[in-house]
Structure 1
């Protein structure tokens, strides 16, 4: 199977966790695309009453077109479940997200959800985080000073660029700086340091959040329990 088939396999397994009348957080990215497609089929065929909150306009548009009722997070109660992808998941079920530059919205939705499931293909499972660049959403004001501070810390920052070679803008019109770290030995310590740097709106370390990880493997789907209730 190719990577897209593994993603689709994981997504179609994860959609089974969605029950009638749930309020659902829907993430962003290529794996979530398959999830939304599968959920749309269930809504149509089983007449499920599902209310969704999306972490990107792309997901919201796709879900709405498939008949899934979408609302703003501000208008929702605590979400029953959020399903999203991840760029890396380590052996302790900590993750890096933000390859699609939506990690700020994704983290807000995740933290307002009773449970979180990540859907990944097996290539996303790692021993230690860090091979995938760690994204930061940062405000433009004073960003050069922040960049120098990150570089002085040895975090190897690089501005993320768009297809035109300009600095990428997020949904909130902020920039993204990716930290090319190769390996993160202590994710909690790094997250704490980043949390205290003024100008960083949010980082892509998703720690102690996920409950289950649904993995698409060559030999079938595996559901991993993170032991968080």
Structure 2
């Protein structure tokens, strides 16, 4: 069982742990990137009850058509919560023009970096397979992709050699299909790039996906992994 002491202090302050037994089902949703129509369709398809919880891997915002509507959708539902992705971090840290996000920037700052339950956790990017959790800082959890460390699509990828526990649910790395490893589940199936928006049903070990209504942003094929 993960506790705050498993993480560096800066991460522990942004770690949210919950008791999975209080929910009938747990769903984890991949990167939305402002794709509000697809999110609404996926939500209706999943049809969570008030006794379920829906968790997001971050990057609710940017690139797609309506970031504000996505944030409002998630924040208005008491059984929905997201971790902070690297795109939320860009707004929080003023690395981009924050004007379009001013209406909900404060809410982004409140997002946890890690959500955990049982022997599972959600981070946006990933974890280094050779590091203790306490050796990761916030940026590591938000941007991990390649090993050796690098925000790169050259590989190899952290999830191919990670041995757990905990089991890690992640986004950030754009995938043709969900990544399924014993200790890692990847959920960014590139909705904003014309792929799918994907949710994982934790109790039934099944995926639910809806296709993008259009391609909102172009992306080269070598940056969409088929693994």
TM-score (normalizing by structure 2):
0.30
Structure with the larger strand share: 1
